């Protein structure tokens, strides 16, 4: 997930839970390896993750490709660690560091399914090195955890997906539907060169995909009073992102004889005006689905309010607006992030500028946001221009589709009593680059996230419990079987109906 995403505050304020140690009952074909001890089933896979963590695959905007050799060394390591996968799947390297694997299905008429994860990690700040209990790139394995940058975001998913494929091949499985594995190298800095290039390549080759599974939301426990069971949130839509530059020009001059208004005061007022004129609150289809399931589960007044949605819509919106995290789900949010003006204490600056970062709700666009800002500022001395990269709000995935059902089946295997809830994902991941290929994009990681874990993402002491890593491998094996083989899916569906 991206550093500037607001996922973390959402997780921290909403999600506080006890780590689930639940074991996974499905997929009996995989044998626990002989080195497995202490309840850990895939010790050899954990060792592969440990090795992968040691490559400092940091994506940096300033010194581009400073860690190029780390990426290529990781590629070489992966080849060694997953021999069956490399023999059976076609590998394509895009823009030198991103990896796209194709596992050809027996039926070329079926649209491929893509699993997306990323090879890059965020840097470790020099000042924080001493705060790590274990080396940030040590990949150390103790009795309970694998430690290091990438264990929660997102190398564990790369290795879990590859291990699942490796074991499926060894178990004799071959897909009917083509399965694609897309591992980007620059997700943390926007993903344009990695996922962006892979998406372009795939569009030329296949035109459309059946579905994309990426990181995003996760499972929570004990966050909603009245809901005891785990709640698995699946990101079925995500907000868009745009930046605007505000510019105010002035005459300059000496500060001893200033005009009543200067570029700095005009710009400051503009920013205050943006804050005073929030975007309109709206409950989008994805958020309505979230509320329908959660409020129905709560029962009583909540269920009644949702049943009479038309009557209670206003009250529900008011309630959601009270909390920073839930307010972000019902409206576009603009935040000033950069401001620049002036160089000398006695000189009036000739120009003042600010950058406003905007996270755009489904149904709006860069253009409509610009209109809103101009109207809110209400001062034509402030020039408002689009600035930098724009990604529109994503399409909304269909929760009545068979792929969503397959994902639900896989979640239910891992968390049998979980309530599964589609939701708007407020951040941005590599998935944004695949929106041109399918509406069925699902942003979900198969782990229970506690407030403590959320704090460790992009932070010191990132670590992953070994038993959770085991479950991730089983989860992806189950998911791949379901989406790659229609029969597997139907059999499972039959079991569920029984
Ligand atoms: Zn990530």
* Residue 186 known to be catalytic: no
Residues contacting 494, CB < 8 A, separation 6+: none
402 closest CA partner among 470, 340, 493: 493
Q: Find the helix packing angle between 309-321 and 300-307, rounded to 10°.
A: 120
395 closest CA partner among 352, 420, 366, 425: 425
Instruction: Determine which one of 70, 166, 187, 488 is catalytic.
Output: 187
Distance CA 475, CA 361 (A): 31
Distance CA 149, CA 58 (A): 10
Distance CA 456, CA 454 (A): 5
Percent helix, strand, coil in the chain, to 5, is: 40, 20, 40
The CA 1 to ligand 1 mean position distance, Å, reads: 3
Question: Domains in the chain, please, with CATH?
Answer: 7-227+394-497 (3.40.630.10), 238-386 (3.30.70.360)
Distance CA 285, CA 287 (A): 6
149 closest CA partner among 157, 164, 138: 138
The CA 122 to ligand 1 mean position distance, Å, reads: 9
Per residue in 108-134, pLDDT tens? 999 999 999 999 999 888 888 888 999
Whether the ω angle into residue 154 lies within 30 degrees of 0, i.e. cis, is yes
Alpha helices in 62-145 (DSSP H): 68-81, 83-88
CB environment 170-187: b (16+ within 10 A), e (fewer): eeebebbbbbbbbbbbbb
CB 249 within 8 A of CB 442: no
The CA 356 to ligand 1 mean position distance, Å, reads: 23
DSSP 428-459: --GGGGGTTT-S-EEEEEEEE--HHHHHHTTS
* Residue 120 known to be catalytic: yes
The CA 187 to ligand 1 mean position distance, Å, reads: 7
- For the four alpha carbons of 361, 365, 368 and 369, in that order, the dihedral sign comes to positive
CB environment 145-159: b (16+ within 10 A), e (fewer): bbbbbbbbbbbbbbb
Residues contacting 133, CB < 8 A, separation 6+: 147, 461
Show the 3-state SS of 226-269: CCCCCEEEEEEEECEEEEEEEEEECCCCECCCCCCCCHHHHHHH
The CA 458 to ligand 1 mean position distance, Å, reads: 9
The CA 150 to ligand 1 mean position distance, Å, reads: 9
One digit per residue, the tens of pLDDT, for the chain of length 498 reads 443 333 333 333 332 221 222 222 233 334 445 445 567 899 999 999 999 999 999 998 777 778 999 999 999 999 999 999 999 999 999 999 999 999 999 999 999 999 999 999 998 888 888 889 999 999 999 989 999 999 999 999 999 999 999 999 999 999 999 999 999 999 999 999 999 999 999 999 999 999 999 999 999 887 777 888 999 999 999 999 999 999 999 988 888 888 889 999 999 999 999 999 999 999 999 999 999 999 899 888 888 888 899 899 999 999 899 988 889 999 999 999 999 999 999 999 999 999 999 999 999 999 999 999 999 999 999 999 999 889 999 999 999 999 999 999 999 999 999 999 999 998 889 999 999 999 999 999 998 877 777 788 888 899 999 999 999 999 999 999 999 987 777 766 655 443
Residues contacting 33, CB < 8 A, separation 6+: 41, 42, 43, 44, 45
- According to DSSP, the β-strands at 419-425 and 231-238 are parallel
Distance CA 376, CA 46 (A): 53
Instruction: Determine which one of 70, 120, 214, 470 is catalytic.
Output: 120
How many Å separate Cα 201 from the centre of its chain? 22
Per residue in 58-84, pLDDT tens? 998 777 778 999 999 999 999 999 999
């Amino acid at each position: 997930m991206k550093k500037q995403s607001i996922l973390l505050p959402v997780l921290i304020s909403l999600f506080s839970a006890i780590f689930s140690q639940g074991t996974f009952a499905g997929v009996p074909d995989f044998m626990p390896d002989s080195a497995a001890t202490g309840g850990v089933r895939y010790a050899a896979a954990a060792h592969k993750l440990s090795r992968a963590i040691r490559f400092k695959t940091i994506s940096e905007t300033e010194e581009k490709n400073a860690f190029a050799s780390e990426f290529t060394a990781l590629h070489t390591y992966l080849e060694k660690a997953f021999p069956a996968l490399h023999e059976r799947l076609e590998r394509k390297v895009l823009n030198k560091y991103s990896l796209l694997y194709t596992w050809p299905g027996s039926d070329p008429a079926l649209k491929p399914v893509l699993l997306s994860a990323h090879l890059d990690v965020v840097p470790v700040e020099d000042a924080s090195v001493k705060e790590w209990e274990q080396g940030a790139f040590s990949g150390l394995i103790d009795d309970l955890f694998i430690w290091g940058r990438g264990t929660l975001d997102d190398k564990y998913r790369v290795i879990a997906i590859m291990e699942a494929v490796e074991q499926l091949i060894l178990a004799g499985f071959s897909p009917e539907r083509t399965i694609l594995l897309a591992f980007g190298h620059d997700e943390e800095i926007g993903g344009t060169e990695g996922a962006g290039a892979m998406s372009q390549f795939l569009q030329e080759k296949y035109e459309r995909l059946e579905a994309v599974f990426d990181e995003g939301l996760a499972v929570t426990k004990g966050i909603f009073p009245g809901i005891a069971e785990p709640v698995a949130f699946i990101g079925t839509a995500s907000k868009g992102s745009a930046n605007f530059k505000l510019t105010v020009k002035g005459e300059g001059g000496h500060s001893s004889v200033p005009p009543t208004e200067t570029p700095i005061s005009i710009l400051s007022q503009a920013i205050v005006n943006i804050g005073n004129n929030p975007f309109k609150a709206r409950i989008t289809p994805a958020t309505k689905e979230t509320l329908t399931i959660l409020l129905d589960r709560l029962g009583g007044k909540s269920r009644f309010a949702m049943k009479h949605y038309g009557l209670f819509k206003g009250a529900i919106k008011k309630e959601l607006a009270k909390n920073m995290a839930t307010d972000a789900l019902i409206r576009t949010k603009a935040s000033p992030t950069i401001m620049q003006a002036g160089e000398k204490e006695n000189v009036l600056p000739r120009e003042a500028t600010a950058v406003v970062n905007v996270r755009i709700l489904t149904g709006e666009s860069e253009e409509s946001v610009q209109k809103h800002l101009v109207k809110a500022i209400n001062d034509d001395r402030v020039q408002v221009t689009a600035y930098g990269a724009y990604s529109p709000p994503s399409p909304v995935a269909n929760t009545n589709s068979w792929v969503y059902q397959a994902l639900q089946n896989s979640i239910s295997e891992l968390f049998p009593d979980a309530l599964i809830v589609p939701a708007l994902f407020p951040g941005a991941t590599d998935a944004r680059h695949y929106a041109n290929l399918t509406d069925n994009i699902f942003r979900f990681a198969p782990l229970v996230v506690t407030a403590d874990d959320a704090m460790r993402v992009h932070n010191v002491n990132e670590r992953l419990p070994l038993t959770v890593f085991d479950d991730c491998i089983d989860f992806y094996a189950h998911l791949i079987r379901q989406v790659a083989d229609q029969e597997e899916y139907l059999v499972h569906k039959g079991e569920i109906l029984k």
